[in-house]
Chain A
Amino acid sequence: MLAAIDWDTLVTVIWASLLAGIGVTAAYGLAILGATRAADLGREGRVAEAGVYALIGVIGLGTVLAAIVFGIVVLSGK
């Protein structure tokens, strides 16, 4: 009975779900961290640190959008 089960696909579903679910959520968390800290530091006049956090925010948001586009492309492929 166990041999009839498509374990490869099931294992792929598990690791892809873990990677996408936790990875995208963490990336969005970094986007919020970056945006919030950049705004706070900018108000305090700490421009260089604010710039670093802004970059973290942009990378976080970019990762989320790239992951979504990648996911849809993979799904709509064969």
Chain B
Amino acid sequence: MRGELLTVIIVVATALAFDFTNGFHDTANVVATSISTRAMAPRLAVGYAAMLNFVGAFISLKVAATVASDVVDPGAITLLVVFGGLVGAIAWNLTTWYFGLPSSSSHALIGGIVGAMLVAKGPDAVFFEDGIIGKVMLPALVAPTLAFVVGGASILVLYRIVGRLRPRPVTSGFRGGQVISGGLLALAHGTNDAQKTMGVIALALVAYGSLPASDPTPPTWVVVSAAAAIAVGTYAGGWRIIKTMGSRIHKMDSAQGFAAQGAGAAVILASTHGGFPLSTTHTISGAVIGSGAAKRLSAVRWGVAGNIVVAWIVTLPVAAAIGALTYAVTRLFGTGAAGPLVVSVLIVIGSTLLFSRRAHEAATVAPAEA
């Protein structure tokens, strides 16, 4: 029992670490448009998003319920499966962060859990049709397409309404509007993404026996800690991804920024209400590209957009493979806490090397640019 308690502590700590990387990696996308159009200063935008991420995590629990009960069989879950899934997601998040690619933390998490579960219990323990296809893959296709359409249609409507006005008040008006739309997007991100971690911790608590498999609703301490972890991760910021999202896809004016953020927030909030564990990265990318393409197709840097699409496609299978491999490695040490402890130490060493290498590269590039 003491070994299991240590394992569940390691798994919960790993889940919160994933939540931190989720905030670090994903929420940058939320603030990128506000920064790009100079609606908000970078540090202020990040702090504002962090605060609203925290608040958003308390609004709904439908996505947490989907992750905890509709993706894999909660009755077959084990702590090592949850741990393997989390490691798959963290490894993929850190890799895509290193290369500056805004891939999906959500799909990484679900891919990791599914991969580990497939190795542990076989395909019968994974809900492929109604869970993976119906609640993950189909929304994964619909959401960015919908955000693209809403973002594009919104900017066309906006240009129709304000197109003949003097540019100065229009620009300042939309910059003010981006404080609202950016806040809504951050709130939407908190409602959807923090809930995925809550769902995973709920799965771990089911495996430990402190939550029933029939109703794995996360307790309050899980909600508060997941909200805090994603907010702190957000504040830590992901500047490389901000650069990609804010200016490398296309240069935006403040009306486009407002339309993109409004479209992203609308799609994410509607999906959260439907209980779909959506990729906020996919959605905001679709909205940003849509608002650019509606103005002028050539305004979008399609090469950068293409790299993002490739990252989307490979996320689920690669995270699943890492999750499966991690599960297999931890099982070599038995079913106790030894496997997760060894893998956790390896992750900390790998992350430290990755961060120090990135810091060294940044320090090398900065004097050259100066």
Contact = CB atoms under 8 A, between A and B. Distances in A.
Interface string A43-78: 000000000000000000000100010011011100
Nearest to A37: B165
B169 A21 contact: no
Contacts, number: 126
A52 B151 CA distance: 29
Contact of B142 (A14, A21, A68): A14
Chain B CB count within 10 A is highest, among A1, A20, A30, for A20
A74 B161 CA distance: 29
A64 B266 CA distance: 12
Interface string B114-141: 0000000000000001100111001100
Interface string A29-46: 111110111011000000
A36 B169 CA distance: 7
B154 A25 contact: yes
Contact of A25 (B158, B173, B191): B158
A72 B60 CA distance: 10
Contacts of B173: 31-32, 35-36
B259 A16 contact: no
B207 to A, nearest CB: 26
Interface residues of B, number: 47
Nearest to B261: A25
Contacts of A29: 157-158, 161-162
B157 A26 contact: yes
Contacts of A1: 129, 133
Interface class of chain A by DSSP: helix
Q: How many A residues are at the interface, by size bracket? A: 35 or more
A64 B181 CA distance: 10
A13 to B, nearest CB: 5
A9 B70 CA distance: 15
A5 B138 contact: yes
A75 B150 contact: no
B272 interface: yes
Given A6-B135, A25-B154, A14 B269 contact: no
B262 interface: yes
Interface in B310-355: none
Contacts of A32: 161-162, 165, 169-170, 173-174, 177
A42 B276 CA distance: 49
Chain B CB count within 10 A is highest, among A6, A24, A29, A35, for A29
Contacts of B157: 22, 25-26, 29
A21 B266 contact: yes
Chain B CB count within 10 A is highest, among A10, A17, A35, A74, for A17
Contacts of A76: 59-60
A60 to B, nearest CB: 9
Interface string B147-185: 101110110011001100110011001100100100010
Nearest to B173: A32
B41 interface: no
A14 B149 CA distance: 11
9 contacts: A5-B138, A9-B275, A17-B266, A22-B157, A28-B262, A72-B59, A72-B187, A74-B273, A75-B273
Interface of A: 1, 4-6, 9-10, 12-14, 16-18, 20-22, 24-26, 28-33, 35-37, 39-40, 64, 68, 71-72, 74-76
Interface of B: 59-60, 129-130, 133-135, 138-139, 142, 146-147, 149-151, 153-154, 157-158, 161-162, 165-166, 169-170, 173-174, 177, 180, 184, 187, 191, 258-259, 262-263, 265-267, 269-276
Given A10-B274, A22-B157, 17 more contacts: A1-B133, A4-B133, A6-B274, A9-B274, A12-B270, A13-B139, A16-B273, A20-B269, A21-B150, A22-B154, A25-B258, A25-B259, A32-B169, A36-B169, A40-B166, A68-B180, A75-B272
